[in-house]
Amino acid sequence: MFEIDLAKFKKYDKPGPRYTSYPTAPHFNEGFTYENYLDEVIKTNYGSDLPDLSLYFHLPFCDTLCYFCGCNMIITRNRDRVSEYIHYLKKEIDMIRTYILPDRKVTQLHWGGGTPTHLRPEEIDEVAAYIKSSFDFKDDSENGCEIDPRDLTREHLEALRRNGFNRISMGVQDFNDKVQKAVNRIQPEDITRQTVKWVRELGFNSINLDLMYGLPFQTIDSFSDTVDKIIDISPDRIAVFNYAHVPWVKKHMALIHQEDLPHPETKLEILKMTIEKLTTAGYVFIGMDHFAKPDDELAIALKEKKLYRNFQGYSTHAGSDLYAMGITAISQLQNVYAQNFKTEKEYFNSIDNEKLPVAKGYSLSDDDILRRDVIMKLMCNFELEFSAIEKQYNINFNEYFAWGLNNLKEMQKDELLLLDDKKIEVTQMGKLLIRNIAMNFDGYIERKEDMAKYSRTV
């Protein structure tokens, strides 16, 4: 069980990147074009040990608006709009597939949203069949999909299962009726339990449930009740996200009243309670917001120091080239990031003009690649041996990262980490504040080139 020091939570609770990438998405720029992306795609086909493929498909449609949602989504019940989107998604698959060697295999597939199960079962069959006919999958590929239990039928899950999906993730956020009404997501507990029962009956390998703290009207007692119910449901993985109230970014968040949100002190108490309950129940803290059962692949990868992190969060598939398709989707190759257009119109027009629908992106410098490696090792392994970095990148670690290492001295005093001339080891409490630790190796923060507005680290 974790021993949580609330005073340290308060001290280090400030805005900071989530580091699903480095450099982070605010640094992407429109000077990076589809030609830059295409050049890099072609380069990935050369070499003696070609990376496997990871595929992400963004299916943005939802039936109703959840006021807390920070995703790129489209609220619609217009089935023609969905059909048109599927048509263009297939065309994007055709375009990108042209430039990738056919013998490179897919090791990971994920459908995110929005709500992928907004698609009808026959549409799931259609899209999944097209993907499978376009790419060669490994026999043991990890194929995950996000679902919404509120408008879900067993037939939706049957369609996912027969098309090779073996992992499911779905949002719960909070079982409390008052909280659900305040965020416009009415999801009774029995619907969630029924969906989990179907998932298990159909033989999916893993199920993840999402919770969110910091929502209106949440109290320590009310959210404790939700956490107890989640532990009873016993999913393989649990994600506990911090609600970031940013109505200047997502206008619909203004429908949540600021005065209804829990006080910052209460919010930290809720997080403390949640972590202590989950770890006492046997879940392993993976990092950031994620927990998993000890026999889960994520927990095993953490123990074996094989954990990886990308735009989908923590993963066990390090080194794969991530090709993301659909509006706003972000691809991640070894040396570049590329993000698609945000609107359907721009996305469709680009594909009609036979151009990959890249709106912006980023080409990593040698410094970016070095710092990404350091940050991701800290985020995933919670320790860092300086000699390995020095050997790989031909640097003196203590000189190169003098600014960050000097900042870590205060964190060492606060017992967030152990630091000497050879390594960093993150303590139990430091794992909960790993974003704060990682920020000390961020060159953009060091050079004061990062003006982006981030969510708070706790």
Q: What is the block-wise mean pLDDT of the chain (458 residues), using blocks of 10 residues?
A: 79 86 93 96 90 96 93 93 98 97 94 96 98 96 96 97 97 98 97 98 97 97 98 97 90 95 93 95 92 94 88 82 97 96 97 97 97 95 96 97 96 95 94 94 92 75
Token pair 């043991």 is found at 140
Q: Which amino acid is at 360?
A: K
- Beta strand 284-287 with 290-292 is antiparallel
Distances from the Cα of 48 to the Cαs of 45, 52, 173, in angstroms?
Answer: 9, 13, 45
Task: Write down the pLDDT at residue 388.
Answer: 96
The pLDDT value recorded for residue 193 is: 98
Determine the 3-state secondary structure of 247 from DSSP: coil
Task: Among 3.65.10.10, 3.40.50.2300, 3.80.30.20, 2.40.30.10, name the CATH number for the domain at 24-325.
Answer: 3.80.30.20
Predicted pLDDT at 96:
97
CATH 3.40.605.10 describes domain 1-18+365-448 = no
Nearest alpha carbon to residue 120 among 94, 87, 73, 158:
158
Rounded to whole angstroms, what are the CA distances from 318 to 7, 188, 325, 371?
A: 35, 37, 20, 17
Residue 189 one-letter amino acid: E
Tell me how many degrees the CA angle 111-377-409 measures, rounded to the nearest 5: 130
DSSP-derived pairing of the beta strands 105-112 and 74-75: unpaired
Q: 1-18+365-448 and 24-325: same fold?
A: no
Query: In 10-122, where do the E strands start and end?
Result: 53-58, 61-62, 74-75, 105-112
On whether the CB atoms of residues 142 and 317 are closer than 8 A, the answer is yes
Biggest distance spanned by C-alpha atoms of the chain? 61
Whole-number pLDDT of residue 456: 76
| pLDDT at position 337 | 97
Q: Which residues pair with 361 in a beta bridge?
A: 29, 338
Nearest-Å Rg of the Cα atoms of the chain is 22
What residue segments make up the domains of the chain, in order of their start?
Answer: 1-18+365-448, 24-325
Tokens of 146: 């996000």
